[in-house]
C-alpha cells in the first residue's frame, strides 16, 4: 500500500492537491492499488498553526512516506517574518536538503491543444518538449551567508556558491540517463567564462560525457541559453544546470508553453521523492476555485512513474488530461474563446472520470 503524504501548503494548495488525489484514486480503482493518504502542514499554514513552517511532525511524516505531493507554499502574509521562519528558507529549502532531493526534474512540454496560449509564435514553439534537470541542494542556495558592517560603515552581504565534483557528477549522470530515454541530447548550462564553479561544472560534465558516447553533449553559457530558449526552444532535449541558473531557466521555459498551470515537477535523489506543480501559491486567486489543478494532477502522474514504477497509471492520467483539453475544458488561466470554463474541482472530476 503506497503511502502518499499530502502537503497542501498555502494559497491555492488546498484546492489543487485534492484534485490530484482524485486522479490517484481513479488510477487506484482502475489498477487495483490502494493508496494511503496522509496529510501534514507546511509553509505559512504550518507557521500559523504551530509557529514553524516545517514542523518536526511534518518532517517525520515525509521521511516515513513513499512519496510526497506538495501544493505550493508562501505568500505576502509571511514575507516579513524572520528569514528562518519564512516558508521558503524555513521549510522548502531545509526539506529539500534533509530529504536529499538533489535533482529537480521539470518537463516543459507544449500541449498542442494549448499552442494558442503560448506567448511565442506557433511556428517557434510547436514541438517544444524539453526537460530541465536542476541541481537542487547545492550552489548559492546552501552556501554560507553573511551580513556584516565594513570599515566605511557600509553593510556588506555575502552568499557563497560552492560545488563539489560529486555533486556535479550525480546530477550529470541523471541528465545523461534521462537523455538516453529521450532524444539523446544534453545541454549543460554554466557561466564557465566567469565562474570557477562553472569551470569545475564543465570539466566534470565533459568527463562524464565520455561515458555516454551515444548522447550528444553541448555546453552553453547561461545568458545565451536564456536567449536560445526563446529563440528556438525545440533545439533542446535535456538541459542540466546548477541551482540558481536552473531556477531562472525553468520558469522561463515553463511560460513558453503558455501553460505554467499545466507543468509538473519532481524533486528526486533521496529515499522519498517530492512532486509539485511548477507554479506557485497564487494567493491572489486562492479560495476562489479558479486555480488550474492540472499541473498537480500531472505531478501525481510523475509520482506514479518515478516513485512507484507505474508507467501505465502515469500514462492513464496524462491521457485523461489531454482528452479533457481536447474536449475543450479550460480553467481560467488557459481559457480561450470558444472553450468551456470550469472550476478547479470540476476540472479534477473531469480528469478522474476519464481515467
Annotated binding site for NAD(+): which residue ranges? 75-88, 280-292
Provide the minimum distance between the beta carbon of 121 and a second copy in the complex, in angstroms, as a whole number: 6
Q: What is the 3-state secondary structure (H, E, C) of 41-95?
A: CCCHHHHHHHCCCCCHHHHHHHHHCCEEEEEECCCHHHCCCCHHHCHHHHHHHHH
**Three-class secondary structure of residue 259 per DSSP:** coil
Measured at CB, which residue is nearest to ligand IPM?
Answer: 88
**CB–CB of 218/184 below 8 Å?**
no
Query: How many other C-beta atoms can be found within 10 angstroms of the C-beta atom of residue 284?
Result: 11
**CB–CB of 30/355 below 8 Å?**
yes
Nearer Cβ to ligand IPM, position 255 or 316?
Answer: 255
Q: Which of 98, 251, 339, 349 is catalytic?
A: 251
Q: Is 1 in the site for a second copy (CB under 8 A)?
A: no
Q: All 3 cell numbers of residue 311?
A: 508507467
Provide the minimum distance between the beta carbon of 9 and a second copy in the complex, in angstroms, as a whole number: 15
- Binding site residues, ligand IPM, CB under 6 A: 88, 92, 193-194, 223, 247
Identified binder of a second copy from the candidate list 47, 163, 176, 329, rule CB under 8 A: 163
Active site residue 203: no
Q: Which of 10, 190, 237, 247 is catalytic?
A: 247
The angle that helices 222-231 and 243-256 make with each other, rounded to 10 degrees, is 10
Nearer Cβ to a second copy, position 185 or 199?
Answer: 199
Site string for a second copy, 111-130 (x = CB under 8 A): --------xxx--x------
DSSP H or E run through 254: helix 243-256
**CB–CB of 41/58 below 8 Å?**
yes
Provide the minimum distance between the beta carbon of 284 and ligand IPM in the complex, in angstroms, as a whole number: 17
Bridge partner list, 5: 38, 68
Nearer Cβ to ligand IPM, position 49 or 194?
Answer: 194
Nearer Cβ to a second copy, position 91 or 350?
Answer: 91
Nearer Cβ to ligand IPM, position 212 or 241?
Answer: 241
Site string for a second copy, 169-208 (x = CB under 8 A): ----------------------x-xxxxx-xxx-------
Provide the minimum distance between the beta carbon of 47 and a second copy in the complex, in angstroms, as a whole number: 15
Provide the minimum distance between the beta carbon of 10 and ligand IPM in the complex, in angstroms, as a whole number: 11
In whole angstroms, what separates CA 169 from the centre of its chain?
A: 21
What whole-number distance in Å separates Cα of residue 73 and Cα of residue 159?
24
Identified binder of a second copy from the candidate list 48, 57, 223, 353, rule CB under 8 A: 223
70: left (phi over 0), alpha (psi -120 to 50) or beta: beta
Closest CA to 124 of 260, 258, 238, 323: 258
**CB–CB of 101/268 below 8 Å?**
yes
**CB–CB of 284/12 below 8 Å?**
no
Active site residue 141: yes
Query: How many other C-beta atoms can be found within 10 angstroms of the C-beta atom of residue 207?
Result: 13
Q: Which of 141, 163, 212, 275 is catalytic?
A: 141
Identified binder of a second copy from the candidate list 101, 255, 262, 263, rule CB under 8 A: 255
Q: All 3 cell numbers of residue 51?
A: 509557529
Provide the minimum distance between the beta carbon of 302 and a second copy in the complex, in angstroms, as a whole number: 20
Give which of a second copy, ligand IPM, none residue 256 binds (C-beta under 5 to 8 Å, depending on kind): a second copy
Active site residue 97: no
Residues that bind a second copy (CB under 8 A): 74, 83, 86, 88-89, 93, 119-121, 124, 140-141, 143, 145-147, 150, 152, 154-166, 191, 193-197, 199-201, 222-224, 226-227, 229-232, 244-245, 247-252, 254-256, 260
Which sequence positions are flagged as catalytic?
141, 191, 223, 247, 251
Amino acid at each position: 500500500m503506497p503511502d502518499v503524504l499530502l502537503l497542501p501548503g498555502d494559497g491555492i494548495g488546498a484546492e489543487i492537491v485534492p484534485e490530484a488525489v482524485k486522479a490517484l484514486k481513479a488510477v487506484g480503482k482502475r489498477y487495483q492499488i490502494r493508496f494511503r493518504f496522509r496529510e501534514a502542514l507546511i509553509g505559512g499554514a504550518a507557521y500559523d498553526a504551530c509557529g514553524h513552517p516545517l514542523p518536526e511532525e511534518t518532517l517525520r511524516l515525509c521521511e516515513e512516506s513513499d512519496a510526497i505531493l506538495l501544493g505550493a507554499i508562501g505568500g505576502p502574509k509571511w514575507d516579513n517574518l524572520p528569514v528562518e521562519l519564512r516558508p521558503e528558507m524555513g521549510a522548502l529549502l531545509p526539506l529539500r536538503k534533509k530529504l536529499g532531493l538533489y535533482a529537480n526534474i521539470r518537463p516543459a512540454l507544449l500541449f498542442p491543444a494549448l499552442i494558442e496560449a503560448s506567448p511565442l509564435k506557433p511556428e517557434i514553439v510547436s514541438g517544444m518538449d524539453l526537460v530541465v534537470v536542476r541541481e537542487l541542494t547545492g550552489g548559492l542556495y546552501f552556501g554560507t551567508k553573511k551580513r556584516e558592517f565594513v570599515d566605511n560603515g557600509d553593510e556588506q552581504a555575502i552568499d557563497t556558491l560552492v560545488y563539489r565534483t560529486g555533486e556535479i557528477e550525480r546530477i550529470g549522470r541523471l541528465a545523461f540517463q534521462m537523455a538516453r530515454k529521450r532524444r539523446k541530447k544534453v545541454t549543460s548550462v554554466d557561466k564557465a567564462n566567469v565562474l570557477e564553479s562553472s569551470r569545475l561544472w564543465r570539466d566534470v560534465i565533459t568527463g562524464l560525457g565520455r561515458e555516454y558516447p551515444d548522447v550528444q553533449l553541448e555546453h552553453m553559457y547561461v545568458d545565451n541559453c536564456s536567449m536560445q530558449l526563446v529563440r528556438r526552444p525545440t533545439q533542446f532535449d535535456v538541459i542540466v544546470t546548477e541551482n540558481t541558473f536552473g531556477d531562472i531557466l525553468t520558469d522561463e521555459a515553463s511560460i513558453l508553453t503558455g501553460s505554467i498551470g499545466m507543468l509538473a515537477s519532481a524533486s528526486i535523489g533521496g529515499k522519498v521523492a517530492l512532486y509539485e506543480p511548477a507554479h506557485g501559491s497564487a494567493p491572489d486567486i486562492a479560495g476562489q476555485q479558479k486555480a488550474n489543478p492540472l499541473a498537480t494532477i500531472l505531478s501525481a502522474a510523475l509520482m506514479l512513474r518515478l516513485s512507484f514504477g507505474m508507467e501505465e497509471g502515469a500514462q492513464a492520467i496524462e491521457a485523461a488530461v489531454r482528452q479533457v483539453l481536447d474536449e475543450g475544458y479550460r480553467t481560467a488561466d488557459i481559457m480561450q474563446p470558444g472553450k468551456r470554463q470550469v472550476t478547479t474541482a470540476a476540472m479534477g472530476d473531469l480528469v478522474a472520470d476519464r481515467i
